[in-house]
């Protein structure tokens, strides 16, 4: 048993059975003396707007056919609209009003005829032609005024954060942080407004609090094993940063820095190693170190020991040193020599994606092992695979 009420069966009519609920039929005559129709939800006499399906007796009746005599019928009383002839259309139905050339204002940039709309119109335009769209105002069409150069950029000044990066005080992100905290002085005056500009000759100093914050930032050296990616996790492989834990710290680490969980905050890899490569990988919180290692103007050497298969000619060895191009760009000169009978020693000053492997492919060699042993003046040394240590205070890349 359900609580659904039973539907009312349809009522039979003379013309058939309808599935619509019958309504009260409209009165045959509607005079002023008759009672007005009851007000409906829409208000007024809604029976005029109903379709014939609203009345069961008229559901299947055909509408009377309109004839010419109906159109010639005189207008009803109270209708003062003029009668239109048969077949006449109201004005504006598919027609355009006549043009009034005398009322139309003159165009500011000259009149064009229909013949000027072809591909040759550019050669026939008058001298007062419109300027390009990006050089005129959107509504009036008047030419825009030429932009005036900013006086702040013409006086030789640069942003304070960029100047601090050029001086090697910190990175751009760290500079903005120190400026907001009021830790930066320009010619002895504290500057705490972002976007401030200075001249190259002005003295920029970092407050002692900023220097202390810089000293607290750590740099970690990791011997990355095979199977870990340098950056974010991808394709089911873990990032190498998961190895930086207290239990993986090298027992012979000469640094006396105490391990803290805060050392993971802002720690990022400065460089990369392929998932199949091993060796020295640098993680740092210091923007100065990151800029020195992976900046566009970085010139720090990186040394690799590469195990290869195949035959290398003298001409191929010369190409590895200088003469190869990757991605349409010529590579910087490198130092490539034989380390032993199956290993090459690479010293590079740049680090394109899979650069060494792609260089070896261009000369007919296949790389079967790659290890980075040095970055600048910092050596991998005896650091075991999968372990890490802090960069010493006396070590500089």
Name 136's bridge partners: 143
- 274 tagged catalytic: yes
Name the strand (E) or helix (H) holding 199.
none
- Indicate the helix (H) or strand (E) that contains 335: strand 335-340
Partners of 262 in the β-ladder: none
166: part of which helix (H) or strand (E)? helix 160-166
Whole-angstrom CA distances from 179 to 192, 285, 338 are 5, 18, 50
Q: How far apart are CA 100 and CA 198, in angstroms?
A: 63
Q: 3-state class of 112 per DSSP?
A: coil
Contact between 389 and 263 under an 8 Å Cβ cutoff? The reply is no
Q: CA-to-CA distance for 164 and 174, rounded, in angstroms?
A: 10
CA–CA–CA angle 9, 13, 17 (5° rounding): 50
Among the options 274, 276, 286, 296, which is catalytic? Answer: 274
Give me the half-sphere count of Cα atoms (radius 13 Å) on the Cβ side of residue 109: 12
372, 304 Cβ separation under 8 angstroms: yes
- Tally of CB atoms within 10 A around 375: 21
Q: Residue 357 burial (CB < 10 Å; 0-12/13-18/19+)?
A: middle
Closest C-alpha among 191, 194, 126 to residue 159 = 194
Catalytically annotated residues: 274
């Amino acid at each position: 048993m359900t609580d659904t009420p039973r539907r009312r069966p349809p009522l039979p009519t003379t013309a058939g059975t309808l599935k619509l609920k019958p309504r009260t039929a409209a009165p045959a005559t509607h005079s002023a003396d008759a009672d007005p129709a009851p007000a409906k939800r829409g208000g007024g006499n809604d029976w005029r707007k109903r379709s014939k399906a609203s009345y069961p007796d008229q559901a299947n009746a055909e509408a009377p056919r309109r004839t010419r005599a109906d159109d010639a019928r005189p207008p009803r009383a109270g209708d003062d609209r003029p009668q239109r002839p048969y077949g006449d259309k109201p004005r504006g139905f598919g027609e355009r009003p006549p043009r009034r050339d005398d009322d139309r204002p003159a165009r500011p940039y000259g009149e064009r005829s229909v013949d000027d709309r072809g591909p040759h119109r550019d050669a026939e335009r008058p001298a007062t032609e419109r300027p390009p769209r990006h050089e005129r105002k959107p509504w009036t069409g008047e030419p825009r005024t030429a932009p005036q150069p900013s006086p702040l950029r013409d006086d030789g000044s640069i942003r304070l954060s960029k100047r601090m990066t050029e001086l090697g005080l910190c990175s751009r992100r760290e500079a903005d942080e120190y400026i907001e905290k009021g830790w930066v002085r320009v010619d002895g005056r504290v500057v705490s407004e972002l976007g401030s500009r200075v001249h190259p000759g002005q003295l920029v100093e970092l407050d002692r609090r900023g220097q202390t914050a810089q000293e607290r930032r750590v740099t970690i050296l990791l011997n990355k094993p095979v199977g870990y990616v340098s950056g974010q996790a991808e394709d089911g492989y873990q990032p190498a940063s998961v190895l930086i834990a207290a239990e993986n710290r090298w027992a012979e680490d000469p640094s006396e820095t105490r391990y803290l969980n805060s050392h993971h905050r802002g720690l990022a890899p400065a460089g990369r190693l392929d998932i199949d490569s091993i060796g020295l990988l640098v993680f740092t919180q210091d923007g100065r170190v990151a800029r020195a290692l992976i900046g566009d103007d970085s010139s720090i050497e990186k040394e690799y020991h590469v195990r290869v298969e195949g035959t290398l000619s003298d001409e191929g060895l010369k190409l590895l040193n200088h003469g190869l191009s990757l991605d349409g760009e010529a590579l910087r000169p490198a130092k490539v020599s034989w380390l032993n009978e199956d290993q090459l020693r690479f010293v590079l000053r740049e680090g394109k994606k899979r650069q060494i492997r792609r260089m070896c492919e261009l000369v007919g060699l296949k790389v079967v092992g790659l290890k980075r042993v040095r970055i600048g003046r910092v050596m991998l040394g005896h650091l075991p695979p999968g372990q890490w240590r802090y960069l010493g205070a006396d070590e500089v890349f």
